[in-house]
Amino acid sequence: MDRWVATTCGYCGTGCGLYLGVKDGRAVAVKPDAAAPVNQGHLCLKGLYEWKTLHHPERAMVPLRRHGRGMEPVTWAEALDEVARRIQEALASGGPEAVGIYHGGQLTLEEYYAIHKLAKGVLGTPNIDANTRLCMASTVSGYIRSFGVDAPPACYEDLDVSSLIFIFGANPAEMHPQLWQRILRNRKLNGAQIMVADPRLTLPARVADLHLRLRCGSNIPLLYGLINVLIKEELLDRDFIRRATTGFDELAGAAAAFPPERVAQLTGVPAATIVAAARLFGRSPDAVTVFCQGVNQSCGAVDTVTLINSLHLITGKIGRSGAAPFSLTGQASALSMREIGGGSSLPGFRNPENPEHRRQVAAYWGIPEERLPRRVNNINEMLSLINAGRLKVLWVIGTNPAVSLPDQGFTRRQLEKVFLIVQDIFYPMETAAFADLFLPGAGWGEKTGVITNSERRLNLVRRAVAPPGEARDDLSIVSQVARHLGAGEFMAWSGPAAVFAELKELTRGRPNDITGVDYALLERRGGVQWPCSSGSRGTPRLYTVGVFPTRAEEAQGYGEFNHPEGRARLWAVPYAPPPEVPDGEFPFWLNTGRIIEHYHTRTRTKRIPELQALVAGAYVEINLADAARLQVAEGEVVRVVTRHGWIEVPARLTEVVAPGEVFIPFHFGDLDPGEESRQQAANHLTGRNVDHLSGQPLAKAGVCRLEKLAANGD
């Protein structure tokens, strides 16, 4: 090895530290960083093989332009001219809403800042969203509603020391393996208890002290049931409730309608188990509730997040060691995106409807305040604008909507209608099949910047090797587009460190203040948790004195969220049954999700032979009893049908899913060469239902039927 470059894993939001080994200018190995505070010398499979994507033969090397049914190479000058011309034409004919940007959650903080500065400061478009809309949008809204801003309160050390880990709608054993190892170590060393709420018999559910096997779509009644028992049995911290919260009477009134017997009917969890779970939580001296897509992608997602927060607030289990609600982010830098103005806000967790916040950003950028959008359109709304002919140019950066967005039939029709610019590190990839223009980007290992993990830790990723061919990093591409649009000076930086220096000033005095951070500090300390203003050493836990950023001048939310003394808000949320429930035509619950072997839409992991060999295609998990009744054999290809579409995938017979439920991993596409022969993308089956508060699609509580195929496959 010529050298080992210290960096951070670019897959999940855990943020493991590792070294990337370089020999003769090529990345050839990865090894864990034993000193990294997050993973302490361990890595999962994805991290270990991460280097293999860097020199893959399908790395995109030159810009491409559509020519008939194919794509042909063009120069960067031609490509950038065309991007700028298309954007200018769209702005001239349709105004700012005629242009949209939809980006991924694995870019760097600096790249996000540049993209959002271009969108909001130059184009003034309301059409700017990220694929974190599919992932963390409901957590964002839930944190804002409860605590005032979108700041995860906990840190990983809480998983090491808490007496109770409540895993709610998450599967850290597959999605955040290093955090699961920390939870298991806590159990082994300290006797921590594990409680799991999940419809599936996941690995955490199998080893849990208590498993609440609720039905799909019933999170809200389950949480109300727990709160009902906690109140009835006075397992509360009355002093904390009085001192630090508002809205308890309303919450108690709403929870009174959910006694355990009623909750048992709504969720399928026995009443005695609900009582036992509430007692376990209430009597435990501390508790961490980790949650993920089983909350964010299910029914009433934002309301569910607020109830999880309330569970901790009414029992005083927040703001101290081992006690907090804790959202696990799916993507490496999803939280960076939220910090800098994604998730419908302005940089520094500012509220785009707060006149003072708008003034601050506009003044810092030197632009008229009116240019800043008051409200942004999420990707679902952007697709509707394309359908209506109002959004004419869509620029997709580092994400793959032709696999990941719900209702693929509708999505793909919109991708065909719009002038589509796709920027990615691989060609081919599914969304590029619809591209009019393709721009080759640089990937992890080829660029330097900051990524923020689930515990608010800013980590450095470093450039270890050069991007292949003519590929360029996203920051350079976005800056060059700005220059071609005549806004070069507005976005002229010497490199990512200069962007970081600019963006951190926009966090000064804000809840995510990072003015005390620079790259040298991150290198020295192996990451720092925000807030970290000048002179501070970072902040492992938030809300340690029971004061929350809900005052109007601080809060990211709107009027009704604010409290003049900085109290957290307890919400009496409504409960509505899932929009679809199993019936004679569609008798199964349909749950979609992730598996350990792959990452998102597999643009990277399907190109790693060791991972692809483990799981090469989509499948449907069917309970053994259902399979016997339908006479479906292991491995038999079945058709899964919903109101929105169909797929054909092999059956995997298992007790992981309950009778009456099926589960399908969403990672698999069906447009790339070699994969186009079978319609297998799970999002052919999902619809366009979204959470009314966050705009996040519902992916975990659909309904479907299973059809056996005739022997000849017809």
Residues of this chain that interact with ligand SF4 (CB under 6 A) are 9, 11-12, 14-16, 39, 43-44, 46-47, 176-178
Task: Name the phi and psi angles at 626, rounded to 5.
Answer: -65, -40
CA angle 492, 360, 521 (to 5 degrees): 60
Query: Which amino acid, residue 139?
Result: T
Q: How far is CA 413 from the centre of its chain?
A: 25
**Nearer of residues 139 and 556 to ligand SF4, judged by Cβ:** 139
**Nearer of residues 15 and 100 to ligand SF4, judged by Cβ:** 15
**Nearer of residues 18 and 396 to ligand SF4, judged by Cβ:** 18
Residue 172: cis peptide before it, omega within 30 degrees of 0: no
Min separation Cβ 196 and ligand SF4, Å: 19
Q: Are the C-beta atoms of 51 and 445 separated by less than 8 Å?
A: yes
State how far the Cα of 63 lies from the Cα of 69, in Å rounded to an integer: 16
**Nearer of residues 54 and 706 to ligand SF4, judged by Cβ:** 54
Min separation Cβ 15 and ligand SF4, Å: 6
Question: What single DSSP character describes residue 98?
Answer: G
Q: Are the C-beta atoms of 17 and 39 separated by less than 8 Å?
A: yes
Strands 620-623 and 646-654: parallel
**Nearer of residues 48 and 227 to ligand SF4, judged by Cβ:** 48
Structure tokens at 205: 């559910």
State how far the Cα of 224 lies from the Cα of 365, in Å rounded to an integer: 45
Min separation Cβ 44 and ligand SF4, Å: 3
Structure tokens at 185: 């170590």
Min separation Cβ 46 and ligand SF4, Å: 4
> If you count them, how many residues does the chain have?
714
What are the Cα distances from residue 323, in Å, to 149, 194, 320, 567? 19, 14, 6, 18
State how far the Cα of 516 lies from the Cα of 538, in Å rounded to an integer: 9
Min separation Cβ 50 and ligand SF4, Å: 7
Min separation Cβ 43 and ligand SF4, Å: 4
Question: What single DSSP character describes residue 682?
Answer: G
**Nearer of residues 22 and 43 to ligand SF4, judged by Cβ:** 43
Min separation Cβ 601 and ligand SF4, Å: 15
Secondary structure class of 690 (helix, strand, coil): strand
In the bound complex, which residue of the shown chain has the CB atom lying closest to ligand SF4?
A: 47
Min separation Cβ 596 and ligand SF4, Å: 9
Min separation Cβ 18 and ligand SF4, Å: 7
**Nearer of residues 21 and 582 to ligand SF4, judged by Cβ:** 21
Could you write out the DSSP letters of every residue in 579-594? S----SSS-EEEEEE-
**Nearer of residues 29 and 552 to ligand SF4, judged by Cβ:** 29
State how far the Cα of 522 lies from the Cα of 527, in Å rounded to an integer: 5
E strand or H helix at 260:
helix 260-267
Min separation Cβ 540 and ligand SF4, Å: 19
What are the Cα distances from residue 644, in Å, to 35, 172, 283, 293, 586? 49, 30, 45, 21, 12
**Nearer of residues 296 and 550 to ligand SF4, judged by Cβ:** 296
Min separation Cβ 14 and ligand SF4, Å: 4
Min separation Cβ 599 and ligand SF4, Å: 7
Min separation Cβ 683 and ligand SF4, Å: 22
Min separation Cβ 51 and ligand SF4, Å: 12
**Nearer of residues 15 and 126 to ligand SF4, judged by Cβ:** 15
**Nearer of residues 345 and 453 to ligand SF4, judged by Cβ:** 453
**Nearer of residues 47 and 441 to ligand SF4, judged by Cβ:** 47
E strand or H helix at 232:
helix 219-232
**Nearer of residues 106 and 377 to ligand SF4, judged by Cβ:** 106
Q: How many helices (H) and strands (E) does the chain have?
A: 25, 26
Structure tokens at 214: 């609720």
Give which of 467, 446, 461, 517 is closest to 19, Cα–Cα.
Answer: 461
* Per-residue b or e along 384-407, where b marks 16 or more CB atoms closer than 10 Å to that residue's CB: bbbeeeebbbbbbbbbbbbbbbbb
Task: Name the phi and psi angles at 502, rounded to 5.
Answer: -70, -45
Could you tell me the maximum CA-CA distance found in the chain, to the nearest angstrom? 71
**Nearer of residues 46 and 510 to ligand SF4, judged by Cβ:** 46
Secondary structure class of 5 (helix, strand, coil): strand
Does residue 226 come out as left (phi exceeding 0), alpha (psi in the -120 to 50 range) or beta?
Answer: alpha
